[in-house]
Amino acid sequence: MSILADMLNEVFIEERKRDKFVDVTAEDVKNAIADAYEHLEEGGKRMNEANWPFVATELKAKAELFNERHKDYGDNYKHFGYIMGQLFTNGEMFDTRNPDTMNRLGIFVQMITKLTRYAQNFHKGGHDDSLDDLVVYAMMLKELDVEVRARESAKEHIAKYRAREKGK
């Protein structure tokens, strides 16, 4: 897209040099795009990839990364909502102001992602990296669950103690 933008810019600079001021119409843009694509189809390159701006280089790299991951995971991300809906069938609401809830949900989401990635590769013999990550996430979630239960238990004991003290 950067090549196309550069070509369009060149066209409009030339127009400005000739007329001093140009009202660019939709037709002008359409024609400039057609000319740019024609140039590209002929194998011409206005800008060497090595000279691309940072953003263009990064976008190309991320597109390549997406394609690489897509080979392994397919459209895994498009199935996530359905799966979460099946796991939380009562329409549970999460208290987004509660850090414990959000921490636990965050880890749970990672676990579901790893399971669905594994499922995408089941016919290929699985996906070891997803299993390794799943084990780690499971222990992280267990740690958070233990901490939450310990805090809840402490609150209950404190409440009972205060009730006894108040009754004296």
Q: In angstroms, rounded to a whole number, what is the distance separating the alpha carbons of residues 168 and 133? A: 53
The confidence score (pLDDT) of residue 30 equals 67
Give the domain extent around 155.
Answer: 76-167
Between 54 and 106, whose confidence is greater? 106
Residues 94 and 150 in one domain: yes
Residues 99 and 159 in one domain: yes
Entry pTM: 0.61
The confidence score (pLDDT) of residue 56 equals 84
61 located within any domain? no
Residues 45 and 84 in one domain: no
Between 13 and 154, whose confidence is greater? 154
The confidence score (pLDDT) of residue 73 equals 87
Residues 46 and 11 in one domain: yes
Q: In angstroms, rounded to a whole number, what is the distance separating the alpha carbons of residues 28 and 26? A: 5
Number of domains in the chain: 2
93 located within any domain? yes
The arithmetic mean of pLDDT across residues 134-146, rounded, is: 97
Q: In angstroms, rounded to a whole number, what is the distance separating the alpha carbons of residues 134 and 124? A: 18
pLDDT at 143 over 90: yes
- Residue 40: name the closest of 4, 81, 78 by CA: 4
What is the amino acid identity at position 4? L
66 located within any domain? no
141 located within any domain? yes
Between 77 and 150, whose confidence is greater? 150
48 located within any domain? yes
Residues 30 and 86 in one domain: no
pLDDT at 125 over 90: yes
The confidence score (pLDDT) of residue 142 equals 97
Q: In angstroms, rounded to a whole number, what is the distance separating the alpha carbons of residues 8 and 37? A: 11
Between 21 and 34, whose confidence is greater? 34
Tens digit of each residue's pLDDT (9 = 90 or more) over 149-163: 999 999 999 999 999
